[in-house]
Amino acid sequence: MKRSFKVLFFTALTSLVLLSCEQEVVNVVGGNNPPEDPTVSFQQRDRYIERVYITLLGRKPDTAEHSAARTIIDENPRDSAQRFTWLSSIMSNRSVAVKRWDDIRSELLESVDTTEISNLIFSLQILMQGAPPEQQFIYQAEIDRLQRIQYVPDSLFAGVYSTRDAHRYAVDNAIYDDINMGAENFVVSVFDHFLYRYPTQFELESSKRMVEGFRDVLFLQGGEGKQDFLEIFYNSDGYVEGQIRYVYLNYLFREPTSYEVTTERARFSADYDFEEMQMRILSTDEYFFL
């Protein structure tokens, strides 16, 4: 009896060992794709797409646009390079240039529209016709400055203007002069908007003199006249840093760190490509998960 029990026990143990040593068989089902990344919800992706459209185009995406965006982003929702690729495709839309100019004219020109600009040009042309020949160049200069901002969206879209050009032309016309009358108000407004600060006493006095046609120094650069002031200002490190702060404050709702300012300054100063900087920030994980 004991022997029979031992034989039975040995047989069972041997069977268990053999079963445990059998090779595991993995069945592969053709066409079975890996599941979606569960850590990034569809709602998160949809919110990101909608937020980008509102930021860049001033509206929500339509059904086709939303579907096209999801096709790209769903490939790898956590990949910032994938998002950058999608943003690049959006930047080719003319509506991006329209929205950029809408923002600029709202911030600097009290949202003046094309009709108002055209009416002002027409009025100046009438005045020029009745002016003495030796004074007509004064009216023509004002007309030229207004015509530069008449069709900014098309110029931005065609690549004729950069955002920096649009900024400069937006403050160099009769409309901006009327809003900020006098050299001091003009200088203070430009500093406040683009550098986010009031000019120092030295900067204010030297800038005023330069704008009024006297020779002076600003940011270690000599100049004489309003055009020299604008040339120096829009080529300054202060303008570059101001644009970096603008993007961070408007898109990430915070100030950039010293490291971020240093990194973006090197990139932006190379080509003054505002749209490229926009895409770098809008493709970050920080913006994606807002």
Q: What is the pLDDT of residues 68-108, one digit of tens each?
A: 999 999 999 999 999 999 999 999 999 999 999 999 999 99
- For the cut 70, the answer to whether the pLDDT of residue 4 exceeds it is no
pLDDT in tens, 148-167: 999 999 999 999 999 999 99
Q: What is the pTM of this model?
A: 0.85
Q: Can you give the C-alpha Rg of the chain in angstroms?
A: 31
Helix (H) or strand (E) segment spanning residue 177: helix 174-179
Contacts of 173 (CB under 8 A, 6+ apart): 142, 145, 146, 148, 149
What residues contact residue 234 under an 8 Å CB cut-off, 6+ apart? 164, 167, 168
In this predicted structure, what is the pLDDT of residue 5? Answer: 41
Query: Tens digit of pLDDT for each residue in 7-46?
Result: 434 444 444 344 444 444 444 444 444 455 567 899 999 9
- Rounded Cα gap, residues 144 and 120, in angstroms: 12
Residue 215, SS3 per DSSP? strand
Q: What is the mean pLDDT of the chain?
A: 90
pLDDT digits (tens, 9 = 90+) for 277-288: 999 999 999 999
- Nearest CA to 248 out of 232, 268, 234 is that of 268
Contact 195/240 with Cβ under 8 angstroms?
no
For the chain, give the percent of residues with pLDDT over 90.
86
Q: Tell me the C-alpha to C-alpha distance, in Å, between residue 280 and each of 83, 200, 275, 284.
A: 10, 32, 9, 7
Q: What is the pLDDT of residue 40?
A: 86
Instruction: Give the pLDDT confidence score for residue 36 in this predicted structure.
Output: 53
What's the confidence (pLDDT) of residue 50?
98
